[in-house]
Structure 1
């Protein structure tokens, strides 16, 4: 499956991660996008200066590495989560 690299896809990823309990922050700096546990808060920090494709690919990678509690997701988010699990990154 191939996702369109659009702002809408980025917004869907952000909403999915929020439902999964993550906070998504955009910060400037010289770093790669990643996730961490800060004082028991799950935070994903995205490099503000990454291009749209880089932001989307980084968030998809993090979603694929996460074991989501699917009870927290609505039906559309659950379907989106499963489609992301099937997505091949290049």
Structure 2
């Protein structure tokens, strides 16, 4: 998703999690992916050493994977959430098309 890397956009993403009753914690840890999601406790732990860009990208990665109740979200949050989902769907479709194209035209070793 083409979201500008600004503290304001990070705050907007954090607001979506907050409205979804998820708590975001920035902690030190050895996360392979830079984050950990505790579904039952509704806690998202993000590596505190990530840059602003890393934090935004991490939250964008997590957002489509969590349960979100749109009834409790503001109109602005709903709009941003829908943009994230649409962007994810487009990226997934492009990935599948690339994989299908690769299956049809396998690279031949020389």
Work out whether the TM-score is over 0.5.
yes
Corresponding residue of 1:63 = 63
1:85 has 2:85 as partner: yes
Structure number with higher helix proportion:
2
Structure showing greater Rg = 2
Name the CA distance, whole Å, in 1 between partners of 2:56 and 2:62.
10
Q: TM-score, normalized by length of structure 1?
A: 0.85
Name the CA distance, whole Å, in 2 between partners of 1:66 and 1:41.
12
Corresponding residue of 2:35 = 33
Query: Where does the alignment leave 5 or more consecutive residues of structure 2 unmatched?
Result: 92-110
Runs of 4+ in 1 over 3 A off after TM superposition: none
Corresponding residue of 1:44 = 44
Query: Where does the alignment leave 5 or more consecutive residues of structure 1 unmatched?
Result: none
For residues 14-57 of structure 1, the C-alpha deviation after alignment (integer angstroms, 9 at most, x for no partner) is: 111010110000101222212113xx420000100011111111
Aligned CA-pair RMSD:
1.6
